[in-house]
Amino acid sequence: MSTPSLELAFRGESRDFSLLLKRNCSIAPGALACVFAAMAVAVLGIGIGFAIAGAWLILPFAGLEVIALGAAFVLQARHATDYERIELAAGRLRVEVSEAERIARYELDAHGARIEMQGPDVLLRGPGETLRIGRHLDEEARRRFAAELKKRLI
């Protein structure tokens, strides 16, 4: 999420808000699949060319390279849609965190919640729970986010 979007999301006099923090995903899943296919064809084509020329041991390593590249692309794709949704309404603070295929939901009393900066992390502390939030923001935006959220919770 870019810094101007954070300012727009918090603008207004009301304490209530809803904020969605997501990764900056610069490539669509279909385009990512096309890039992988092009790279796999190129690597395997070179491997087959060397195998035909007599250096057949290149081909298994080319296959391993394609498998490793595919694994890296799958790991990246699993986290491309990660997000945090933070909502303050009617004195309740709701946090929804989506990582890979797991969604966790938390609900805290807004009056008992505290925001703390611990190094680069923003911690939301409630009775018996501590959540790390703002993980998709850069450090400067995270600091501003924590300050604004602190104001809204008072």
Residues 17 and 45 in one domain: no
Q: What is the pLDDT of residue 43?
A: 96
**How many CB atoms lie under 10 A from the CB of residue 4?**
9
Residues 43 and 93 in one domain: no
Residues 65 and 90 in one domain: no
Q: State both tokens at 38.
A: 């092009």
Residues 140 and 105 in one domain: yes
Yes or no: say if 91 and 110 are a contact pair by the CB < 8 Å rule.
yes
pTM over 0.85: no
Query: Does residue 8 have a pLDDT over 80?
Result: no
Q: What is the pLDDT of residue 10?
A: 60
pLDDT tens digit string along 45-71?
999 999 999 999 999 999 999 999 999
Q: What is the pLDDT of residue 1?
A: 42
